[in-house]
Amino acid sequence: MENKILEIFIPGPAGRLEAKYFKNHKVTSPIALVLQPHPQYGGTMNNKVVVDTFHTFMDNGFSVCRVNFRGVGKSDGEFDNGQGELADAAAALDWLERENFDNSQCWVAGFSFGSLISMQLLMRRPEINRFISISPQPNVYDFSFLSPCPASGLMVYGKKDELVPKEHINELDKRLSSQKGIKVEFETVPDANHFFTKSEDNLKKVLDKYIKKESALY
């Protein structure tokens, strides 16, 4: 069976969105949407962390989609400070769910700016039952909307993240760990910076372990 990743276009609120999509042949396979880092700092869906996350989901039996926000690559529109990007992510999730209406689980993942958008999407979509947030920036973006956080998930960050002071991560950890009924795990990748330069393999191991453990529950 060939692992064929398709290049597709999804109808979005500002025009079409360029995306990459892999469909697992198992009928009730879980689905995952993976979101890119900040468009104004060169972020695209072909960012190494995004691609590695996409492949880790793929290797674990998911149907998975990664998408370029408006104005990135071949996607129509222009950058909209997060509001439009959230609408783009919602449109991509709609499309992914239509393609896999009998999915067994729904995950969302995002890297850096994408982790903010994925968490905002999580708050609006009750069907999302797990999330992975990579290099969140609680010092730049206000994550207080996660009260309460509606699903369990994983926050992964580099121990040497040069963009996020450790106390901001600790504060977020404290806030989320006091919420009942959900479990948000915080994982540090020892020598990694914000972009996981030269630490990609360690990041993939953390992601793979969490995806295997949590998707086996269903």
**How many C-beta atoms surround the C-beta of residue 60 within 10 A?**
19
How many whole angstroms separate alpha carbon 55 and alpha carbon 206? 13
Percent pLDDT > 70 in the chain is 99
How many whole angstroms separate alpha carbon 10 and alpha carbon 50? 18
How many whole angstroms separate alpha carbon 105 and alpha carbon 98? 14
Q: Is the pLDDT of residue 124 over 70?
A: yes
Q: Is the pLDDT of residue 31 over 80?
A: yes
The residues facing 9 across adjacent strands are 18
pLDDT band of residue 2 (cuts 50, 70, 90) is low
* CATH value at residue 73: 3.40.50.1820
Mean pLDDT over 155-181 rounds to 95
How many domains does the structure of the chain reveal?
A: 1
- Per-residue pLDDT reduced to its tens digit, 42-87: 999 999 999 999 999 999 999 999 999 999 999 999 999 999 999 9
Query: Over the chain, what is the mean pLDDT?
Result: 96
- Model-level pTM? 0.97
Domain encompassing residue 130 = 5-215
